[in-house]
Amino acid sequence: MNIIDGKAVALNVKNQVKLECEALKKKGITPGLAVIIVGDDPASQVYVRNKEKACEECGFHSVKYALDANTTQQELNALIDELNNDDSINGILCQLPLPSHLDDKEVINRIDPIKDVDAFHPVNVGAIMIGDYNFLPCTPAGVMELIHSTGVELEGKKAVVMGRSNIVGKPMAMLLLHENATVEITHSKTKNLSEITSDADILVAAVGKAKFVKADMVKQGAVVIDVGMDRDENGKLCGDVDFEDVKEKCSYITPVPGGVGPMTIAMLMKNTLTAAKIQNNIE
C-alpha cells in the first residue's frame, strides 16, 4: 500500500506555475485572481485563506472581497460585472455555498467564461463534455494529477465515481472517460453499491459521508481517491473513506487531510495562469 502525498504533488504543480508566472511577469503580465466570499462560513473562510496564500506563493496578484452575509444579489452581480471588466483580474472565483437568499446559478452564469477559473459556467462545462476546454474543474483535475502521479495506466480500467455533483462527480467521470477508463457513476439511489465499487480498479469517493467506504467495498489492489472533507464522531477532519479499514487493500490511497485538498488549490492556480495567458494572447 502506498499513500499518495497530495501536498508534494500540489507543490510540484505550484512550482511549475510559479516559474511560468515569473516568465509572464518579464512580459509585463501578472496573473490576477479575485476571490469573493459572502458571509462567515468557517470552512469557506479557511478555503479562501488557503487560496490567497497559494496566490502569494505563485507570485500572483490576488484580491479578496469579503462581503457581508446580507449582501443583495444586485450588489453581488455589480461586483462580478466590475471584475469581468477589470483587466488586472484574470480569474474570478465566488466561494460556494452562498447564503440561501443568493442564487449560485445566477452568480456562475454572470462570471465571464474566460475568467471562470472554477470551470462552473455552462460554457466551460459544455467544453469539458466535448473535450475541447481551457479550464478543467479544480478538484477533478487535481484527482487526475494524483492518479497520474502513481503511474497507474487508466486505459481500459474500470473506474467508479461515487457521487454525481456538478462540481466533482459528473466532471470527474468525464475526465476519466477522456483517458479511456470505463466509467460508472454511483449515487444515493444506486442498488448493490458495494458490488459496483468492489469491481473498481480506480475508486473516487465524493459522497460527503464520513468514513462511508469500508474495506468490503474496495477491490484488492485498487487506487482509492478520497474527495471527502467530513468530520468524524469526535469532530476530527476525515474523508469519505474509512482510511484505517481500507488502506491495506489498496495499491494507492489518498489521506484526508493532505490528499485531494491541496490539489484543488494548486489546480486553481494553474487555471488562473491559463486565464492570464489566454487574455493576453499568449500560446
CB of 102 to ligand GUN, least distance (A): 13
Active site residue 118: yes
Of these residues, 14, 115, 116, 118, which one is catalytic?
118
Active site residue 45: no
Distances (CA, A) of 149 to 77, 143, 259: 40, 10, 12
| Residue number closest to ligand GUN, CB atom | 96
CB of 21 to ligand GUN, least distance (A): 21
Of these residues, 51, 157, 219, 270, which one is catalytic?
51
Angle, CA 196 vertex, CA 210 and CA 174 arms, to 5°: 80
Based on CB atoms, which residue is closest to ligand GUN, 89 or 93? Answer: 93
Binding interface with ligand GUN (CB under 6 A) = 93-96, 118, 138-139, 167, 264
Measured from the Cβ of residue 70, the count of other Cβ atoms closer than 10 Å reads: 11
Based on CB atoms, which residue is closest to ligand GUN, 118 or 201? Answer: 118
CB of 125 to ligand GUN, least distance (A): 13
Angle, CA 215 vertex, CA 212 and CA 219 arms, to 5°: 115
C-alpha grid cell, residue 159: 473506474
CB of 139 to ligand GUN, least distance (A): 6
Based on CB atoms, which residue is closest to ligand GUN, 71 or 139? Answer: 139
Active site residue 51: yes
CA-closest candidate to residue 114, choices 130, 94, 93, 135: 135
Q: What is the DSSP string of 159-207?
A: EEEE---TTTHHHHHHHHHHTT-EEEEE-TT-SSHHHHHTT-SEEEE-S
Catalytic residues: 51, 95, 118
